Amino acid sequence: MFMDKEKLLELSDKVSAIALKASQSIMDIYTRKEISLEKKEDGSPLTEADLISHKILVEGLDSLDLNFSILSEEGKSNHKLEDETFWLIDPLDGTKEFLDKNGDFTVNIALIEKGSPLMGIVSAPAKGELFKGILGVGAYKANNSGQTEIKTKALNKELITITVSRSHQTEKDKQVLSSISKNFNEIEIIEAGSSLKLCRVAEGLADIYCRMGPTYQWDIAAGQAVAEAAGGALKTLDGNDFFYTFDSEKKNPEFYCVGDSSFAWKTLFS
């Protein structure tokens, strides 16, 4: 670990402030009656909010004078091949939710060290929620009532609560959902968008989130940091750890995020 816990906590506060500044810029656009929309080369939506948030995050992180490279959904910054520590950000995760105005979008900032998320900040502007997780320190949720520590919950084998994508469920997602439900007497479903699904596991509202469709590294790194700092785990379907790299083309393998890692989750996917 490149800095001690006290310095990481101090850094997390500074990064949270940057995330909140970007969040405010997003909300300024979100409240408009009409939102301008473009299409990226891959067909995914791009709004003014994505670009403004990206600019604020990059400028804010650079102002910390840590000289870490930045990999964003909207571009790279200061790339050095020898870097083992870098920022991995999604300026607006859940652009579809943003356009649908259902509130389930986030700003994601993760600090990656040697392939793993060391710290993660997830801001949900429309919900007034901010989550942060620091490896070896803990996970926290802040809102208008203040900041509280959050922890994942132990699994109740009679009832499982699963959080699923509000907008991007694939047929394989549905098949896995059916397979998991057969191992429990009752099942409860929570729909959510963006990295909020990972945060719902982190705060003990859900037992598991699994994703069988395509995602990119910046979609989940910050949420993984929050979930793991709260006591959870994020694994590939074969039970392996994730490894993040400074590569804007790298997609995530299929994965699951759970609150109670003592259960043999891997057997549900084999």
- Per-residue model confidence as pLDDT tens digits over 159-200: 999 998 876 677 877 888 888 888 899 999 999 999 999 999
pLDDT of residue 80: 57
Query: Does 152 or 269 have the greater pLDDT score?
Result: 152
Tell me: do 186 and 95 sit in the same domain: no
Domain end call among 108, 123, 150: 150
- The answer for residues whose C-beta is within 8 angstroms of residue 85's C-beta and 6 or more apart is 2, 68, 111, 112, 113, 114, 118
- Tens of pLDDT along 135-168? 999 999 999 999 999 999 999 989 999 998 876 6
Residue type at position 32 = R
With a cut of 80, say whether residue 83 has pLDDT above it. no
pLDDT of residue 2: 65
Query: What CATH number did the domain enclosing 218 receive?
Result: 3.40.190.80
Domain end call among 150, 171, 186: 150
Domain end call among 111, 130, 150: 150
Tell me: do 134 and 18 sit in the same domain: yes
Query: Rounded mean pLDDT of 100-126?
Result: 96
With a cut of 70, say whether residue 202 has pLDDT above it. yes
Instruction: Domain of residue 113: give its range.
Output: 5-150
Residue type at position 8 = L
Model confidence at 93, in pLDDT bands (50, 70, 90)?
A: very high
Tell me: do 223 and 260 sit in the same domain: yes
Query: Rounded mean pLDDT of 63-86?
Result: 81
Tell me: do 218 and 130 sit in the same domain: no
Query: What CATH number did the domain enclosing 66 receive?
Result: 3.30.540.10
Tell me: do 17 and 84 sit in the same domain: yes
Rounded Cα distance between 88 and 92, Å, is 13
Tell me: do 129 and 30 sit in the same domain: yes
With a cut of 90, say whether residue 10 has pLDDT above it. yes
Query: Rounded mean pLDDT of 246-265?
Result: 92
User: How many domains does one find in the chain?
Assistant: 2
